[in-house]
Amino acid sequence: MQSDLFQALLTLFSVQHLLFLVGGVLLGLVVGFLPGLGGIAALSLLLPFVYGGNPTLVLPMMIGLLAVTNTSDTFPAVLVGIPGTSSAQATILDGHALARQGEAARALGAAFSASLLGGLFGALVLTLAIQFARPLILGVGFGEQLMLVLLALTMVGMLTGVSPIKGLAMCGLGLLFGSVGAAPATAEERLTFGLGYLEDGIPLVIMGLAMFAIPEIIEVLRKRNTISSVPELGSGTLRGFAETLKHKWLVVRTSSLGVFIGALPGLGGSVTNWVAYAHAMQTAKDRSLFGKGDIRGVIGPEASNNADNGGALIPTLMFGIPGSASMALFLGALVLIGVEPGIGMMERHLDLTYIIIWSLAIANVIGAGICLVLAKPIARLTLVPFVLVAPFMIVIIYFAAFQATRAWEDLIALFVLGIFGMYMKRFGWSRPALLIGFVLAKQLDASVYQSIQVYGMSFLQRGGVQIIIALIVISIFVAARVKPHRDPLSADGPHAPVNKMPQAIFLGLLIAACLYTVYDVWRLNFLAKVFPLSAALITLLMLGVASFTFLRHRPAYLFFDAEREHAVGDKPVATEIHFQSWILGFIAAIGAVGFILGTFVYITAFMRVKAGVRWHWALAGALGAALVLAGFGHVLALSYPRGLLQIATELPWPFD
Does residue 235 interact with other proteins by CB under 8 A? Answer: no
Output 49 or 193, the one with its CB closest to other proteins.
Answer: 49
Does residue 95 interact with other proteins by CB under 8 A? Answer: no
Does residue 41 interact with other proteins by CB under 8 A? Answer: yes
Output 406 or 485, the one with its CB closest to other proteins.
Answer: 406
Does residue 342 interact with other proteins by CB under 8 A? Answer: yes
Stretch that binds other proteins, among 44-52, 62-70, 214-222, 513-521 (CB under 8 A): 44-52
Nearest partner of 370 among 107, 96, 89, 71, judged by Cα = 71
Does residue 148 interact with other proteins by CB under 8 A? Answer: no
Does residue 341 interact with other proteins by CB under 8 A? Answer: yes
Minimal distance in Å, beta carbon 321 to other proteins?
Answer: 4
Output 13 or 51, the one with its CB closest to other proteins.
Answer: 51
Output 450 or 604, the one with its CB closest to other proteins.
Answer: 450
Cα distances from 389 to residues 308, 383, 412, 632, in angstroms, run: 32, 10, 23, 19
Residue 378's CB: how many other CB atoms inside 10 A?
Answer: 18
Minimal distance in Å, beta carbon 68 to other proteins?
Answer: 19
Does residue 512 interact with other proteins by CB under 8 A? Answer: no
Output 344 or 502, the one with its CB closest to other proteins.
Answer: 344
Residue choice 13, 54, 193, 200 for contact with other proteins (CB under 8 A) = 200
Does residue 47 interact with other proteins by CB under 8 A? Answer: yes
Minimal distance in Å, beta carbon 180 to other proteins?
Answer: 13
Residue choice 5, 7, 18, 44 for contact with other proteins (CB under 8 A) = 44
Does residue 655 interact with other proteins by CB under 8 A? Answer: no
DSSP H or E segment with residue 40: helix 39-50
Stretch that binds other proteins, among 39-47, 215-223, 239-247, 426-434 (CB under 8 A): 39-47
CA distance 300 to 346: 32
Residue choice 242, 407, 412, 518 for contact with other proteins (CB under 8 A) = 407
Does residue 644 interact with other proteins by CB under 8 A? Answer: no
Minimal distance in Å, beta carbon 413 to other proteins?
Answer: 13
Residue choice 101, 405, 534, 580 for contact with other proteins (CB under 8 A) = 405
Output 160 or 316, the one with its CB closest to other proteins.
Answer: 316
Stretch that binds other proteins, among 133-141, 353-361, 364-372, 612-620 (CB under 8 A): 133-141
Minimal distance in Å, beta carbon 397 to other proteins?
Answer: 20
Does residue 54 interact with other proteins by CB under 8 A? Answer: no
CA distance 318 to 320: 6
Output 612 or 652, the one with its CB closest to other proteins.
Answer: 652
Cα distances from 327 to residues 189, 208, 269, 462, in angstroms, run: 28, 22, 12, 30
**Per-residue contact string for residues 530-559; x = within reach of other proteins by CB under 8 A:** ------------------------------
Angle between helices 55-72 and 296-319 in degrees, nearest 10: 150
Residue choice 525, 554, 571, 644 for contact with other proteins (CB under 8 A) = 525
Peptide bond before 341: cis, by omega within 30 degrees of 0? no
Contact 227, 100 (CB under 8 A): yes
Count Cα neighbours of 153 within 13 Å in the Cβ-side half-sphere. Answer: 24
Who's near 339: CB < 8 A, 6+ residues apart? 55, 349, 352
Residue 4's CB: how many other CB atoms inside 10 A?
Answer: 13
Does residue 350 interact with other proteins by CB under 8 A? Answer: no
Minimal distance in Å, beta carbon 442 to other proteins?
Answer: 8
Stretch that binds other proteins, among 47-55, 69-77, 353-361, 507-515 (CB under 8 A): 47-55
CA distance 496 to 445: 38
DSSP state of 34: S
Nearest partner of 271 among 297, 244, 293, 301, judged by Cα = 301
Minimal distance in Å, beta carbon 47 to other proteins?
Answer: 4
Output 614 or 634, the one with its CB closest to other proteins.
Answer: 634
Does residue 136 interact with other proteins by CB under 8 A? Answer: no
Cα distances from 17 to residues 20, 327, 357, 362, 600, in angstroms, run: 5, 21, 14, 12, 42
The dihedral region occupied by 288, where left means phi > 0, alpha psi between -120 and 50, and beta the remainder, is alpha
Nearest partner of 166 among 424, 518, 478, 531, judged by Cα = 424
Q: Which of residues 294-333 bind other proteins (CB under 8 A)?
A: 315, 319-322, 325-326, 328-329, 331-332
Output 190 or 431, the one with its CB closest to other proteins.
Answer: 190
Q: Which of residues 408-467 bind other proteins (CB under 8 A)?
A: 445-446, 449-450, 453-454
Stretch that binds other proteins, among 182-190, 488-496, 515-523, 532-540 (CB under 8 A): 182-190
* Contacts for 410-414: CB closer than 8 Å, 24+ residues apart: 410/203, 410/206, 411/587, 411/590, 411/641, 412/587, 413/197, 413/202, 413/203, 413/206, 413/210, 414/206, 414/209, 414/210, 414/214
Stretch that binds other proteins, among 178-186, 267-275, 480-488, 506-514 (CB under 8 A): 178-186
Does residue 184 interact with other proteins by CB under 8 A? Answer: yes
Residue choice 16, 245, 340, 571 for contact with other proteins (CB under 8 A) = 340
Tell me the site size for other proteins, rule CB under 8 A: 57
Who's near 626: CB < 8 A, 6+ residues apart? 596, 597, 599, 600, 654
Does residue 336 interact with other proteins by CB under 8 A? Answer: yes
Q: Burial-class residue 239 by CB neighbours within 10 Å (0-12, 13-18, 19+).
A: middle
Minimal distance in Å, beta carbon 125 to other proteins?
Answer: 19
Output 202 or 510, the one with its CB closest to other proteins.
Answer: 202
Sign of torsion, CA 30 31 35 39?
A: negative
Q: Residue 494: phi, psi to the nearest 5? A: -65, -20
CA distance 357 to 125: 10
Contact 111, 59 (CB under 8 A): no
Query: For 570-589, b where at least 16 C-beta lie within 10 A, e where not — what string?
Result: eebeeebeebbebbeebbeb
CA distance 625 to 497: 46
Minimal distance in Å, beta carbon 105 to other proteins?
Answer: 35
Q: Residue 490: phi, psi to the nearest 5? A: -150, 165
Cα distances from 345 to residues 63, 120, 317, 351, in angstroms, run: 17, 22, 7, 10
Does residue 508 interact with other proteins by CB under 8 A? Answer: no
Q: Which of residues 263-292 bind other proteins (CB under 8 A)?
A: 265-266
Q: Residue 182: phi, psi to the nearest 5? A: -70, 135
By CB under 8 A, name the binding residues for other proteins: 40-41, 43-44, 47-49, 51-52, 137-138, 141-142, 182-187, 196-197, 199-200, 265-266, 315, 319-322, 325-326, 328-329, 331-332, 335-336, 340-344, 405-407, 445-446, 449-450, 453-454, 525, 637-639, 653
